[in-house]
Structure 1
Amino acid sequence: MGESAIVLFSGGQDSATCLAWALSNFETVETIGFDYGQNHSIELEVRQTFLENLRSRFPDMTKGLGIDHMIDLGVLGAISDTALTGEREIEMNEAGLPNTFVPGRNLLFLTIAAAVGYRRNAKHLVGGMCETDYSGYPDCRDDTLKSLQVTLGLGMDSRYVVHTPLMWIDKAETWEMARDLGGDDLVDLIVKYTHTCYRGDRSTLHAWGYGCNDCPACELRASGWSAFADVVPSKKRAAQ
């Protein structure tokens, strides 16, 4: 496209896949991460390891990969009362949402990314939000993000495009997208160097990556991997 993008890169599977997607669609790509007091802050450490390995193992893919921005959003954790930002058990709340939902999180993330993009002349914002395999978070819905795209453009008097490559695919298809973008090497990188587990557990490496294998994030990632692993061999046989 010959244009610049900023990718919301948390250090997890979805955002890592979106980063690879952005690198294949834009001339220059920068990443942005947020420290909002999340209990699984280990993701902030592994994201740097992933970026380093991505650069070294995919030199052609990462030619357009620029700087990484880290934003302190501790105020979000301070005003939240969730299982991701406090010492609480993961459970459903009265509204039928898991208490891992951090109100306003994605809205703030994209607004700040747009502000950084304004300075960096990057009008494309890329996020891993999904309305197919997700926990029901309202700020992951397509309608929410389309509305926010309009608001950002009006509020900054500059056209922004919010891209959500994973919006209508499930976790198995997300693994497949990663494989299409970077082959088995990229899949291996995502397995070993990204983090999704809400509990921040990196004690055990499963086939799908590190995690407690019990929280909602691990369950989604593991079930997606299982479905992906079942499909890949059949595709290979069909190609023979």
Structure 2
Amino acid sequence: MEGTAIVMFSGGQDSATCLAWALENFEHVETIGFDYGQTHRVELEVRQKFLEIAMQKFPKWADRLGKDHLVDLGVLGEISDTALTRDRAIELSDAGLPNTFVPGRNLLFLTVAAAVGYRRNAKHIVGGMCETDYSGYPDCRDDTIKALQVAVGLGMEKRYVFHTPLMWIDKGATWKLAHELGGAELVELIKNETHTCYKGDRSELHEWGYGCGACPACELRASGWAVFANQKQDWSSKPSQAQIT
């Protein structure tokens, strides 16, 4: 696709996969991250390292990658009371949602990314929202993203396209997509250099990456990896075309 895309890159598995997708599909790509007082702020620390290593390993993408924007949204952490912005145990809230849900987070992220896109002449905004195997976050739903795209476009008098390449795939398929985009090298890079764990734990490297292994984010990432690993075994067990007579 022609034009410039801004990728909401948190430093996690999903946004890293979306970044690779955007680099494959757009002429120019910029990244944006948000410091909102998250307790797992180690994700902000891994962002730059991932970008540096990725550009070394994938020179075809290096020419397409532009500026990285880091925006201070500390006010979001100040007004929210969640397990991602306070020292609290992860549990279900009275509303039936996990208290890892930060109200308004994706709404604000997409709006700010679009505002940066206005200045950078970028109409494509890419995010890792997904409602296939998510935790029920209402701001990850496809209807929410489409409605916000319309509202932001009207409010800024500019046509935006909000892309969510992971919306209808599960975590196993997300690992598979990474493999399709950058092969085993990209899968290893995402496994070793991204962060998803809500606890911010990078003390142990599991077969699926770093994390506490017990929080919902780790459980989802690990289960997706197990599905992907089984698929890889199936690929390797099937005879190649050269072996078929």
Tell me how far 1:62 sits from its aligned partner: 2.6
- One-letter code aligned to 1:67: K
Distance 2:133 2:176 in 1: 14
Aligned to 1:221: 221
Aligned to 2:16: 16
Aligned to 1:41: 41
Distance 2:107 2:62 in 1: 28
Q: Taking structure 1 as the reference length, what is the TM-score of the superposition?
A: 0.99
- Residue 24 of structure 1: SS of its match in structure 2? helix
Aligned to 1:103: 103
Aligned to 2:143: 143
Distance 1:53 1:60 in 2: 13
- Once the two structures are superposed, residues 57-87 of structure 1 have per-residue CA deviations (whole angstroms, 9 ceiling, x without a partner) of 1111232000100000000000000000001
Distance 2:141 2:239 in 1: 36
Tell me how far 1:193 sits from its aligned partner: 0.3
Pair 1:63 & 2:63 matched? yes
- One-letter code aligned to 2:216: P
- Once the two structures are superposed, residues 171-199 of structure 1 have per-residue CA deviations (whole angstroms, 9 ceiling, x without a partner) of 00000000000000000000000000000
- Residue 177 of structure 1: SS of its match in structure 2? helix
Distance 1:62 1:193 in 2: 18
- Residue 59 of structure 2: SS of its match in structure 1? coil
Which ranges of 4 or more aligned residues in structure 1 deviate by more than 2 Å? 236-240
Aligned to 2:91: 91
Flag the 1:228–1:193 CA change in 2: closer, same or farther, 3 A.
same
Distance 1:143 1:103 in 2: 16
Aligned to 2:243: none
How is 1:94-173 mapped onto 2 (pairs within 5 angstroms)? 94-173=94-173
- One-letter code aligned to 2:166: L
- Residue 31 of structure 1: SS of its match in structure 2? strand
- Once the two structures are superposed, residues 78-119 of structure 1 have per-residue CA deviations (whole angstroms, 9 ceiling, x without a partner) of 000000000110000111100000000000000000000000
Q: Unaligned stretches of 5+ in structure 1?
A: none
- Residue 30 of structure 2: SS of its match in structure 1? strand
Q: Taking structure 2 as the reference length, what is the TM-score of the superposition?
A: 0.97
Tell me how far 1:233 sits from its aligned partner: 1.4
Q: Unaligned stretches of 5+ in structure 2?
A: 241-245
Bigger Cα Rg: 2
- One-letter code aligned to 1:152: V
Percent identity for Structure 1 against Structure 2: 71
- Tell me how large the CA RMSD over aligned residues is: 0.6
Distance 2:25 2:231 in 1: 26
Tell me how far 1:239 sits from its aligned partner: 4.8
Distance 2:80 2:213 in 1: 25
- Once the two structures are superposed, residues 112-160 of structure 1 have per-residue CA deviations (whole angstroms, 9 ceiling, x without a partner) of 0000000000000000000001111000000000000000110000000
